[in-house]
């Protein structure tokens, strides 16, 4: 969800995709490269006017570790995800890895809503929506 909400907000700020590349990859044990984006994710985004193509798929970071090597900034949803990233993947500069809340000046996690129902997905989406403008401001404050 964060990937698509961030892309939308960047477009609203007039920041074209060739200036900022936003990608997302799962690190959970159940992450699968090429798996269809979950219906819960699609519905939560659709309520925001973000419509994913039917063939939209997920990316498994275990199969694409080069994504981390190419990233200038890595945002995880939970502190455990950030720790797992640093422990399992080659990250040349660990200072580039943050949680969404820590990068935006807060603390704590945005828990994975996987298999927790539409209410939890909506709550997660709303928290991401609240933090994305702060993320954009921090990235482009220079």
Tens place of pLDDT for every residue, the chain, 142 residues? 999 999 999 999 888 776 888 999 998 888 888 999 999 999 999 999 999 998 999 999 999 988 988 889 999 999 999 999 999 987 878 999 999 999 999 999 999 898 898 899 999 999 999 999 999 999 987 5
Q: So where are the chain's domains?
A: 2-139
CATH top class, domain 2-139: alpha beta
Q: What is the 3-state secondary structure (H, E, C) of 46-88?
A: HCCCCCCCCCCECCEHHHCCHHHHHCCCEEECCHHHHHHHHHH
Q: Which pTM was predicted?
A: 0.91
């Amino acid at each position: 969800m964060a990937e698509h909400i961030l892309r939308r907000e960047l477009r609203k700020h007039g920041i074209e995709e060739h200036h900022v590349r936003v990608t997302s990859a799962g690190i959970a044990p159940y992450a699968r490269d090429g798996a269809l984006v979950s219906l819960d994710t699609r519905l939560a985004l659709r309520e925001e006017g973000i419509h994913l193509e039917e063939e939209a798929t997920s990316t498994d970071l275990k199969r694409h570790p080069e994504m981390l090597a190419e990233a200038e900034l890595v945002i995880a949803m939970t502190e455990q995800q950030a720790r797992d990233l640093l422990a399992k993947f080659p990250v040349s500069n660990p200072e580039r890895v943050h949680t969404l809340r820590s990068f935006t000046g807060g603390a704590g996690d945005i828990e994975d809503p996987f298999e927790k129902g539409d209410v939890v997905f909506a709550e997660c989406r709303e928290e991401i929506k609240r933090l994305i403008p702060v993320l954009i401001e921090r990235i482009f404050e220079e």
